[in-house]
Amino acid sequence: MPDIIHLLPDFLANQIAAGEVVQRPASVVKELLENAIDAQATTVQLIVKEAGKQLVQVVDNGLGMTETDARMCFERHATSKIRSTEDLFRIRTMGFRGEAMASIGAVAQVELKTMPHGADTGTKLLIEGSEVVLQEPVVTPEGTSIAVKNLFYNVPARRNFLKSNAVEMRHILEEFQRVALAYPDVTFTLHHNEMEVFNLPATKLSQRIVSIFGSTYKNQMAYCEEDTGFLVVKGYVGKPEHAKKTRGEQFFFVNNRYVKSGYLNHAVMTAFEGLVAKDNHPFYVLFIDIDPEKIDINVHPTKTEIKFEDEKTVYAIVHAAVKRALGAYNIAPSLDFEQDVNYAPLQPIRLQGGFNSEFEPERKSLGSGRSSGGSTSFPGFTPPATTTKRATSRGWEQLYEPPKEAQQEERISMASSETGLLSDAFADTAPASTKKAIQIHQKYLLVQVKSGMMVIDQQAAQERILYEKYIASLQKKTGASQALLFPQTVELSATDAVLIKELAAEFKDMGFQFEDFGGNTIILNGIPADVHAADEKELLEELIEQYKNNSATLKLDKRENLARAMAKRLSTRSQARMSDLEMNSLVDKLFACQVPNYTPGGQKTLVIMELSQLHDLFLKN
């Protein structure tokens, strides 16, 4: 049979390699910025047009390249970083694989201008689809300028898979921020479509963090440092009260290289255990300096994954460093972590006749006025003469209702409240159609149904109702707005500013009204008509955080994501005592939904317990 195995042409091999190395314009940004750092640049300019689809250009004042090096850098597996196998395990530079420039040159039109320090002239190269179309001497500043134009111009299928400019620009900003955080002693600037987005002078890490993420971070950071000899951990962690719903602003750098590590993230999160809510994530920017021979970064072409020789020790040191930082700033509690440090447990309420019940109403509602009188009317139990009159459920409700006067608080009888609740449950035999919902712990609603009892998760039900409402508004573009009496100025991070501009039409369809105030600041003029006008700025920030959180875990279109995010944020804000009218309205609205049984995320909104199941709870041995 004829031979069928052959070598691929260089241009095709480069295009295949580009599939892993160059996934989008942000990939080009990452590689070019890291090359500038490796060239010992102290000033780096990033210039982007049309979110990198038209142009990505990096200009640095680094070492520059000779004519031969300029030509060689576009060859596959050509690198100045390593020469032997031993070098592979002593890497301190960002690049070393020798694939990036060859991959970029295979799928774009590249213009390179470079001149070494002290040289009289530099070199200009034009590369198109791995082919050198021009090479000539040129007068250019010392350092290197690389302009990558029309990315994927010769691979239209790849270009068609690129997202909108706003999405691609958000990815570019993420890569830019990572490099800028890793090297605060380097001056960075970023221009997009002739507009300056970032101007970051050389400074210290804390000021670089504030410059990137905003002035609100000035009071959010606690310094972290631990030197064990095995490794050094330095950086900043956010104070627990500023934790967010997303983990976007969490950065690990190992030998100044940004890495993604769920293992290290777990070490940080366990240090924050008990200080932040379960679904919240603290901010951190942490640097680990370790002997390169103790790690392996040659795991993936993007070099964001890493393996440690002794990962358990690294985990323990990172955990201890963060824990110590929290304690040093008096953030971590000094009491026993197993005990609730906010509220002392209420004493059990003991009923006569051998029954024992324990209630946990809000402490502010109970105050100091407690009464121990009263009892229940269970079979075999003889109540005292003072309790012949049946208590009503109103007494139970008063336990959760802030009293208007101190004297009124003293008249609340806990025992009569218990009596009313229990006797109502046994004695009431009214038809299901006339039943009212009962609220429990401001979280659940109990409703009698023909087959037994239904328990509704109040927050989940509200989330389902709000989701269907907002998805309809977004689809029909009918969201009504209420103007704010005092418009609010909202300062956003660069990535959030890009995101909100990307979603401007959807925000408007839902009822938000805002205008660009320049830079990363907007003026919030209106919110959806049915949203309670309070903490509007916080609501918008929470909505953005929830949207990003959804994006990180789910593949949703913009409208679906935004409707889910809005429903989630508003439902979590609405844990409150409800009137009878509000409870019954919630039940009616839930069953008017297309999918009343589940939230958009698949969580149950209700559970029905059959009457036979209730009987079994009491009749079985």
Supply φ then ψ for residue 293, to 5 degrees.
Answer: -75, -15
Report CA-CA distances (Å) from 578 to 364, 440, 441, 575. Answer: 17, 10, 11, 9
Cα separation, 68 vs 79, in Å, equals 13
Question: Which own/partner pairs from 381-388 qualify as long-range (CB within 8 Å, at least 24 positions apart)?
Answer: 381/352, 381/353, 387/416, 387/419
**Residue 62: enclosing H or E segment and its boundaries?**
none
How far, in whole angstroms, is CA 44 from its chain's centroid? Answer: 29
Q: Are 21 and 100 contacting, i.e. CB atoms less than 8 angstroms apart?
A: yes
Cα separation, 110 vs 135, in Å, equals 12
Cα separation, 45 vs 80, in Å, equals 23
527 beta partners: 482
Cα separation, 226 vs 224, in Å, equals 7
pLDDT of residue 81: 61
**Average pLDDT along the chain, 621 residues, taken 10 residues at a time:** 72 61 89 92 96 95 92 77 58 64 90 94 92 92 95 88 85 94 96 91 94 86 91 93 78 91 91 84 92 75 76 93 86 42 38 37 37 38 38 36 38 35 34 64 87 90 91 85 86 82 86 84 86 76 81 78 87 76 88 90 90 81 50
Q: Are 225 and 206 contacting, i.e. CB atoms less than 8 angstroms apart?
A: no
Q: Are 105 and 70 contacting, i.e. CB atoms less than 8 angstroms apart?
A: no
Task: Give the closest residue to 178 by CA, choosing from 203, 202, 213, 151.
Answer: 213
CATH topology of domain 207-328: Ribosomal Protein S5; domain 2 (3.30.230)
pLDDT of residue 28: 94
pLDDT of residue 390: 38
pLDDT of residue 604: 92
The secondary structure of 375-388 as a DSSP string is ----TT----GGG-
Per-domain residue ranges of the chain: 10-202, 207-328, 362-429, 457-591
CA end-to-end span of the chain, whole Å? 80
pLDDT of residue 331: 58
Cα separation, 143 vs 157, in Å, equals 35
Helix (H, G, I), strand (E, B) or coil at 236: strand
Q: Which amino acid is at 552?
A: A
Residues with Cβ within 8 Å of 440's Cβ and at least 6 positions away in sequence, in order, are 446
Q: Nearest-5° angle of CA 321, CA 270, CA 242?
A: 85
Task: Give the closest residue to 239 by CA, choosing from 209, 261, 208, 217.
Answer: 217
Q: Locate tokens 């576009």: which residue?
A: 74
Supply φ then ψ for residue 528, to 5 degrees.
Answer: -50, 140
**Residue 221: enclosing H or E segment and its boundaries?**
strand 221-227
List, in sequence order, the alpha helices (H) in 190-261.
205-213
Report CA-CA distances (Å) from 539 to 529, 545, 571. Answer: 14, 10, 12
pLDDT of residue 308: 86
Cα separation, 173 vs 194, in Å, equals 16
- Total number of residues shown for the chain: 621
Q: Are 211 and 200 contacting, i.e. CB atoms less than 8 angstroms apart?
A: yes
Q: Are 519 and 551 contacting, i.e. CB atoms less than 8 angstroms apart?
A: no
**Residue 568: enclosing H or E segment and its boundaries?**
helix 558-572
405: DSSP letter: S
Q: Which residues of 255-294 are buried (b: 16+ CB within 10 A; e: fewer)?
A: bbbbbebeebbebbbebbeebbeeebbbbbbbbbebeeee
CATH topology of domain 10-202: Heat Shock Protein 90 (3.30.565)
What is the pTM (predicted TM-score) of this model?
Answer: 0.66
**Radius of gyration of the chain from its Cα atoms, rounded to whole angstroms:** 32
134 beta partners: 126
Task: Give the closest residue to 57 by CA, choosing from 96, 95, 25.
Answer: 25
Architecture of the domain whose range is 457-591: 2-Layer Sandwich (3.30)
